[in-house]
Chain A
């Protein structure tokens, strides 16, 4: 059974940083594209970033480009999102999501329960 467990969320001041982690189990982590999707309180879903199985060229939404960095450690079955220069509008639940195998790598197949990031002074 696929398990994705996010951690690292919390309260951070504007301009501050956090590192979100996602521990994966139940599948061959190194074979799948992984993603981060966020949801502001009471709002819809917003795609943040994705990284291919080999850790190659990642992609970012414009609103996080240059501020967030996605990475993965396939030896530890762990996905990361370094969140920097945060703004109040970055307040959201951040979900770690497993893609399907290619060609459906960008289909968001399994979701973790999310970790809440609150940006406030």
Chain B
């Protein structure tokens, strides 16, 4: 099983700041990496797939990069709506696995 590790677990940031979230895979997943955003009481929402392709309706301030085992999700200028938990997921190999999540908190 491929283990996905996200860092940090929690990030306290101010609106307007640029933030980078990290996701590491225990073995290569090539570009088969997705990011999801989940707000309290809501279902997750797909942000990014193929490591760097934004999903439908996702603002351009979200960008993804990486391949192999190291991936990042960058939010260029945090909006109040972006404070949430972010998960990465590999879909390269069964069983598909998620990271444990990074919580973005308002500083």
Contact B36 A104 (CB under 8 A): no
Is residue B68 contacting chain A, with contact meaning CB distance below 8 A? no
- The number of chain B residues with a CB under 8 A from chain A is 23
Residues of A within 8 A of B (CB): 44-47, 50, 59, 61-62, 95, 100, 104, 106-114
Give the number of residue pairs across the A-B interface with Cβ within 8 Å. 52
A–B Cβ pairs within 8 angstroms, 22 of them: A44-B100, A44-B101, A45-B38, A45-B44, A45-B87, A45-B101, A47-B97, A47-B98, A59-B94, A62-B95, A95-B44, A106-B91, A107-B46, A107-B50, A108-B34, A108-B36, A108-B44, A108-B46, A109-B46, A110-B46, A111-B44, A111-B45
The answer, among B34, B95, B97, for a CB contact under 8 Å with A107, is B34
B residues in contact (CB < 8 Å) with A:
32, 34, 36, 38, 42-46, 49-50, 55, 87, 89, 91, 94-101
B20 to chain A, nearest CB (A): 20
